[in-house]
Chains A and B, each alone.
Chain A
Amino acid sequence: MVSEDREYVERILSGEPELFESLVRKYNRMAGAIAYGVLGDFHEAEDVVQESFIKAFQALRTLRDGAKFRPWFCGLVRTKAIDAYRRRPDRRMVEISSIGDSLGDAISSASGYRLTSNIEEEQLREEARQKVLEAVSELSAEDRTVVVLKHMDGLSYKEIADITGTTVSAVESRLFRARQVLRKKLDPSRTREN
């Protein structure tokens, strides 16, 4: 996989810039997880990841070893996400999708009599999704990053450890703890752990 990145970078720099899309396809979820981990907001995370890819594209020739694209790009995304966080006027950590809420409200009110059980089911699912996102956003930035890298990008503990600069056992215990917290928040009636 690493040598694949080297090949992509070399070919992009030697006249096939469109191949950059392969790197975008490969790493956008991972970058999204890192940015969301810092910001707790998908809209801002998307902006940050877009900017990061553009910056990476422009600065690609400064990368001496194409095989190191992933760690280099992860650092870039993290830096940009932290910058975006610092630029926030109120330093808020979380913004649960207000657009999604207003869209749901608008559909409900505009097509009230067409509200079928199917839409209700979808609303319930959306509520459940928002509840989980809210719980995730209340985690610490480190815990959130690990949870998102695991569940949004499906990475292994080793890959998460490489990205976050920790050890596999640290990832394991952080993930375990974060899931324990999430379980308590999402279903307080379930007290059993382990």
Chain B
Amino acid sequence: MNDLCSETDRRLWLYIDRELSASELARISSHLRECATCSSLYHERVRETRQYRAAFSQSPFGDKFVGKLRRRMVAEGLYGTAREDSSAPAGEAPVEDGDEVLPGETGSARHGRRARARHGLFPFHRGRMRRLVTVAAMLLLIPLIVVIGHMANGPTPEYLGDVTVENGAVFLEPPTQEPGGSVLGPRPSALHAGMVCRIPGEGKVTVKLRPGRGAGLAGGAAGGGDPDDVRSSWITLTGPASLSFDPKATCNEFLAQLEEGELVADVAPRAAGQSFRVETPQARVSVIGTIFELKVGEVETLLKVQKGKVRIQHREALPDQGIVEVAANDRPVVARRGESKPVSLPPPPVARPNPAPAPAPGATPPAALPPTVRPRPAEAPPAEAKPTPGDDLDNPVDGDAPSGISPGGSKNE
């Protein structure tokens, strides 16, 4: 173990947590690329990080908490009281729990409102009561749901399209309580809303969204002269990756959550009222008709647009705030936690000596589209040369993370 190994060993968590300066990150990145022992330790730590994150993924916080609290505040008539409070006479004592008096409110009404605010609908401790009611309801409902499911075989989730494995091991997990789901084979598999596509290691899948189809595979093959291709959108997912298709998603109102991995989307033009959205832990991305790449790490999402225009905003921003429009040929945009809006990456500090190198003898000539994007048969591929996915994306921030190893462990797991 040399000095660099010792330093890497000592600072590995700081590296994973991105708490080092750019030069320190670069030094450790470079060492990790060369030292198998330290690289192995790095991957072990990244696995631990994922383990912890997965454990907290079931917490009741996030979007579902926001909705629950909104319903409660609306039901209790709380939205609106802040405005009335703000018009209270100056010098009034600070508001305490239930102390405020709404205009025109009688004493008994105030008492009732305070009781509801403290205890909800039940005159018991809310947490304990809620848990008791939840357990009782589940015990009654679960057998009923299972029986009904057996009788009616349940509603069929919306058919979205086909998934085809390009390479590697890929899991397609069905919506909860649906049987089946396993490692995908070489033939296309039907994709339904609510499914989760997981690529645990290196691997790649192509998803073809097929609007207007009823259910199941039509013809049993994706692509290949299908007249629907004109209206179809394509998604290519490169592992390690996890893409969850929203249970309410349809081809026309598409929504998916990209937890990690690299995604390239070639989206068919959308009509009015149609949408195509992808959410990551850091950002919301919505498009009309375009080709774009997304790369999700632990702390940031990188967006690069190849054709058309894409809107990106911070995941937690208001619907009309912090929106950044990214057009083809714009610098890639990165959305990070803790920032108010996505920002463009600065241009690389040093120009490349050979911006357009000639292909090596025997090498495949550069395609007009990235290899991960299939051109639609009825459309001519874009004339301009496109950058290869991962070219600039390998190191979104400082340009010195090793290929395949990035802090936060979005790769190589």
Partner-B contacts on A (CB < 8 A): 1, 4, 12-15, 17-22, 24-26, 28-29, 31-32, 36, 42-47, 49-50, 53-55, 57-62, 98-100, 102-103, 106-107, 110-111, 114, 116-118, 125, 128-129, 132-133, 136, 147-148, 150-152, 154-157, 159, 172, 175-176, 179, 182-183, 186, 190, 194
Contact = CB atoms under 8 A, between A and B. Distances in A.
A58 B60 contact: no
A125 B179 contact: no
B338 A156 contact: yes
A148 B57 CA distance: 11
A118 B179 contact: yes
Q: Secondary structure of the A side of the interface? A: helix
A102 B138 contact: yes
B85 interface: yes
A106 B139 contact: yes
A99 B131 contact: yes
Given A106-B142, A125-B54, A152 B61 contact: yes
Q: Which of B9, B82, B83, B316 has the most CB of A within 10 A?
A: B82
A190 to B, nearest CB: 8
Contacts of A14: 83, 86
B143 interface: yes
Interface of B: 9-10, 13-14, 17-19, 44, 48-49, 51-63, 65-66, 68-70, 72-73, 76, 78-83, 85-86, 88, 94-97, 100, 117, 126-127, 130-131, 134-135, 138-139, 142-143, 146, 173-174, 177, 179-182, 281, 298-299, 316, 318, 337-340
A151 B19 contact: no
Q: Which of B61, B97, B131, B181 has the most CB of A within 10 A?
A: B61
B79 A110 contact: no
B61 A32 contact: yes
Contacts, number: 190
Contact of B86 (A13, A55, A155): A13
Q: Which of B48, B56, B127, B146 has the most CB of A within 10 A?
A: B56
B19 A172 contact: yes
A155 B299 CA distance: 9
B127 A44 contact: yes
Contacts of A47: 126-127, 130
Contacts of B142: 103, 106-107, 110
A129 B179 contact: no
A132 B73 contact: no
B338 A151 contact: no
Contacts of B143: 106, 110
Given A32-B59, A128-B51, A179-B13, A118 B83 contact: no
19 contacts: A13-B83, A14-B86, A15-B83, A24-B69, A28-B66, A28-B69, A43-B131, A53-B69, A57-B78, A61-B88, A106-B143, A110-B146, A118-B182, A128-B51, A136-B52, A152-B56, A157-B17, A179-B13, A186-B51
A32 B70 contact: no
B127 A43 contact: yes
Contacts of A19: 318
A106 B73 CA distance: 33
